[in-house]
Each structure stands twice: as C-alpha cells, then as structure tokens.
Structure 1
Amino acid sequence: MKRLLKAGVQSAVSQVAPLLWRLDRQPRLLVLMYHRVLPQHHPARAVEQPGMYVSPETFAMHVRLLQAHFTLVHLDDWLDARRAGRPLPVRACAITFDDGWRDNYEYAFPVLRAAAAPATIFLVSDMVGTRYRFWPNRLADLLANHAPAALATRLPEWLEPLVAAAAVDHGAPLDAEQIDAVIGRCKQVRTDAQIAAALDDIERALGGGDQGHRDLADWDEIREMVDSGLVRVGSHTRRHTRLVAGLTVEQLQDEIAGSHRVLEERLGHPPRTFCYPNGDHCPAAVEAVRARYIGAVTTSSGWNASGADAHLLRRVGVHEDVTRTPAAFLARLAGIG
C-alpha cells in the first residue's frame, strides 16, 4: 500500500512540477550528484551502497528528461556567466559525478556523447588509475561476505557494536541496506584514516584485501572524455579526505591546492571547480577552496538561486532506487522522494 501511495504521489508531482517550473522566471541552477553507473548484473551492485549508482538505461532516461525541461550547462560556464553579469538560463542543470569511477567512462560517457550532454567529473587526484579502494567499498565487501559472528573477534571495539546493531541474523552476512547503515555510523564516529587502518588490520587477519580490480578511471580514459569537449574535470581533493575541523592548514592546503596542482600537471589545464568529499567543509576549508576555484559543490540538497554562494552550491543526489522511473526522477528533482 505504501509503495502504491508513493507511486501515486510521484506521478502527480511529476506532472505538476514541470508546469510550476515554467512559471518561475527567476534563473536557477540545479546541480545533480551522481557517483557510479552500473549495469543491472554488474558485480559491484551486489555490495555497493544503494545511494551510489544508477543503471546506464536509467541515466539515459534522466538525460532525455533533463534536455526536455532544462538547459544543460557546464558548471563552470554557468559560474562564469554569472560573474560576468551575462543572462542566465531560467532553468539550468549541471550534471556532476563524484570520485572518478571507471564506470563513468565505460557506461556514463557513451550516454553523454550520444546526447551531446555536458558533465563535470570530480577526481580524487592521487587515486586516478590506481587500484585504490575507498573504505566504504572495502567495508561493504567485508560485511557482505562474512557473518558478524565470524568477524566478532577481528573487529575493533568501536566497530563491533555498530555491526551488531545493524545485523538481524548474526549468523548471516549483512544485506546492502544494513551495510549502508554501518557505513553511515562509521562516518560519524571515526575519521577516514582510522577506518582505513582498522580495515587494513582486519584484511591482514583474514588473508589480505582484494587488489585485483581497478575501479577508478585512469588518465587516458579521463583525457578521452575531456578531449570530447563534453566532460570537464574538477577536484575532489588528493585522497578523498573529509575537510572537517581539526585538520591543520598544511593538511587543508595539501588536499585542496595539492589536488589542483596534480590535475593541472596531468591534464594541462587547471581544474576550476571543487567538490567537498562527503559534503564536509569547515570554514577554513571553504576559504582555501575560494582561493583556488571559481565554485564548489556540497551534498546539501536543493536548487541554487542566481545569488547562491558559488562555493557552497547545493545538489540533488540521484540514484537508482529513487529515480528509476520518469515520474520518480521528476518528483526527486521537485524535492519529493
């Protein structure tokens, strides 16, 4: 019953929202936040967080609807036009991808190319082309392949209760929703470095982590996308470090200015936009970003008015489980679902 009610609400909103958008003549910018694009039977979908991916077919449907209702723009072009006082589209939309996944090249880029749609990919500069695995993926693999009871003696004291609280059956591995809950709690109680170090210890005890896959795009793949003119590159720090209070000035500069330098050296031109990892940004981080980039995006949800802070732009997160139908997607853009 709840599912039917939700579908009914989405259907109604999807029909009304475009009409209301047309009545609003104030220029606004919608920035969409994507991560991965994975086909239905891709093995990564078995353990990836639900909020991290869409299918190629769903992404293609999104692009078609966006072209029908919005003016698709490069994020930095919109920022340039605003700074110069040039007219802005009434409904502009910028597509963005976080992290620089290899599947962005394999599955998203063909969709963008077929539709001649612009996008920005925010790269973790020191991880491009490596077999580095973000700690949420490592933790997801661990929890999807080992029951909590089997891991109890190997988990650090702070992690064991988080896993136990999420588990329903301690004799069976966690499902994707339960794993997502554990990942969310980990972000609240430990730094990325602490979590990664704990996973290093666990993987060593279990016989080592899987380093056989390259999940991130390499420089040749990035250059091919950039050379198309459709894809532009922004910074997502050097190591995907969350820019929270407590980091030193040197650490902030290393991640923010350092990634700017690496990307310029590897691609021949400087990145102009920035994305805060996990959406975290202390005041000192924002000021450091202002000094290097013309704009930056957060994970705060919503649209941006023409006068929005260029370095604290809102985005709408888009993923398969809440946008797989046209009605669900349009409702999501309207703030429902």
Structure 2
Amino acid sequence: MKQSVLSILMYHQIGHFAPMRAHRANYCDAGRFRRQMRFLARGGFNVLDLDQALACLRGKRAMPARALVLTFDDAYLNFLQYALPVLRMHGFPAVVYAISGWLGRRMQWADPSPQRPRPQLMSAAHLREIHAAGIRVGSHGLSHAKLGELEVERQRRELGDSRAALQDVLGADVVHLCYPFGSFTRGLVDVAAETGYLSASTCLRGAATAADHPLVLPRKAISYGDNLLGFGWKLLVKHAPKPELVEWRRRMRQMHADESFRG
C-alpha cells in the first residue's frame, strides 16, 4: 500500500526582488507566488491547517490526496502585503513563524546587500491582524538564535519565553515551532516538548509521513528560482528524503525502541 505523504512548503519573503544567485530559498517573487497558489487551487490540492495535518500524520484522520501545509518563516511584513491577500482569495490556511524578540524591527541575522536592504518584520499589531484573518502564528524563537548550539537553560528561555510572549500578543495558544536556521538536536526536541509545543518544523528536506516525529517535521523549500514546472515537481514527485532526514528518522526510531525496552 502506498504511503500517504504531506508536503510542508517553506517560504520566507514574498515580494519583488532583484535577480540573485545566493540565498534563493529566502525569497519568492510575488507574481510567482500568485501563480503557485492558483496552481494549488486548480490542481486539486488540499491545503491543510497544521493541526489538521498533524491529525492526519498521527492516523487520527485520513490523509487527503495531494495534501500540503503552507509555512512562512520569520514573519516578514511583506507577507501582509503580498501573501495574505492571495491566501484569503483562495481560502488557504497557513502558519507564520514569528520571532518574539524582533517584532516590528528589521531583520539583522543576515548580511545586507545594496539590492536587498534589511526587511521589516511584522509588529505585534500585524500578528494580531493575520491571526484574526485565520492565519496561525507559531514561534521562531526569541532571538533567531541557532538553538541547537545553545545550553539547555538558554534553549528553555528561547522556546518558553517566546511562546509566552506570542500568547500574550494573540490571546491564543501557541503550540507550533520552527527551529531558526534549522538548528536543532535530539535534546532540543525534548525541550520543545517540555515547553508546550506540539509540532516543530525543520529545514530537513522531504515529504512528511507518519514515520516523522511531530517535533522533527521535514519541509520542501520554495525558492526564488522555482518556475511553475519546478513547483509542481516538488509537490507531486520530489517526496524522497534527503540523507539528513533519513538519519534523523533512524535516530527517532532508535529512541522509541530504547524507551520501549526501558518500559
């Protein structure tokens, strides 16, 4: 029997950008984004809320055909201008991962260039606006640190304080996380669970399946260079896991086996 798969798409900025060769996964042209969403609407794809997707991965509900989740890292202000109107037009849910300590500021964790000045991040008011529009807000940490390189107590502060701050902003529970830079460790997975998160997105490449731990979810990066053919290929064909994801799945299976043995 063919295994059901879920494509979790990873976006960052949506807008109009000068041509580039580096860091292409951090950008998506606004026109291409509109065409991509129209492709989903006309192509029989099922765009799921992340809670719905988790229920499917856990076997609590059937995974629909051509299932996917839309995620947007960093909570850039251009999401509000270029992505939200398109998502609302099609009735698509999405998750935006916000950095609680950087709300309303300009991005500082990458080198600026004359062609691409430091982009603005959404403020608390902007997050409330997209939350009211049906967009789910998740945590991207407190300071966009490489969490896997931090001491455990700093990890707890990054995840716990960020979750608490975003919940105060929204007046709603925040249970979804995305590891900044894709940096995480086996121990950080435990910290994420301890601080109340139900899912965590990674930068591991591949389709998500029932074999994946909900706090180690793989994604498919949508980048500046993806035309509609490449976009469709990623959704319909490119499901195979990259070697790093294969290794993480092996580790998580071993962890469960060890826990079962001790139990």
Q: TM-score, normalised by structure 1?
A: 0.65
- Unaligned ranges ≥5, structure 1: 1-23, 146-175, 177-209
Alignment map for 1:2-151 (pairs within 5 Å): 26-40=3-17, 49-67=23-41, 68-83=43-58, 85-131=60-106, 133-136=107-110, 139-141=111-113
Q: 1:46 to 1:304 in 2, by over 3 A?
A: closer
1:233 matched residue in structure 2:
137
Q: Which runs of 4+ in 1 moved over 4 A?
A: 45-48, 81-84
- Unaligned ranges ≥5, structure 2: 240-263
User: Following the alignment from structure 1 to structure 2, what is the Cα–Cα distance between the partners of residues 335 and 254?
Assistant: 36
Spell out, residue by residue over 1:135-165, the C-alpha distance to the aligned partner (whole angstroms, 9 max, x if none). Answer: 21xx233xx59xxxxxxxxxxxxxxxxxxxx
More helix by share: 1
Spell out, residue by residue over 1:102-130, the C-alpha distance to the aligned partner (whole angstroms, 9 max, x if none). Answer: 00111111111111111100000111112
User: Following the alignment from structure 2 to structure 1, what is the Cα–Cα distance between the partners of residues 24 and 66?
Assistant: 28
User: Following the alignment from structure 2 to structure 1, what is the Cα–Cα distance between the partners of residues 21 and 29?
Assistant: 15
**Any idea what SS the aligned residue of 1:305 has?**
coil
User: Following the alignment from structure 2 to structure 1, what is the Cα–Cα distance between the partners of residues 25 and 61?
Assistant: 36
Amino acid at match of 1:260: R
* Structure number with higher relative contact order (C-alpha < 8 Å, ≥ 6 residues apart): 1
Contact 2:98 2:137 in 1 (8 A): yes
**Identity %, equivalent residues:** 28
User: Following the alignment from structure 1 to structure 2, what is the Cα–Cα distance between the partners of residues 217 and 228?
Assistant: 15
**Any idea what SS the aligned residue of 1:316 has?**
strand
> Does 2:224 correspond to 1:330?
no
Alignment map for 1:300-319 (pairs within 5 Å): 300-319=204-223
**Any idea what SS the aligned residue of 1:304 has?**
coil
Structure 1 residues 87-96 or 235-244, which shifts more?
A: 87-96
User: Following the alignment from structure 2 to structure 1, what is the Cα–Cα distance between the partners of residues 101 and 22?
Assistant: 22
User: Following the alignment from structure 1 to structure 2, what is the Cα–Cα distance between the partners of residues 50 and 248?
Assistant: 31
Contact 1:73 1:92 in 2 (8 A): yes
Residue 84 of structure 1 deviates from its aligned partner by: 7.0
Q: TM-score, normalised by structure 2?
A: 0.82
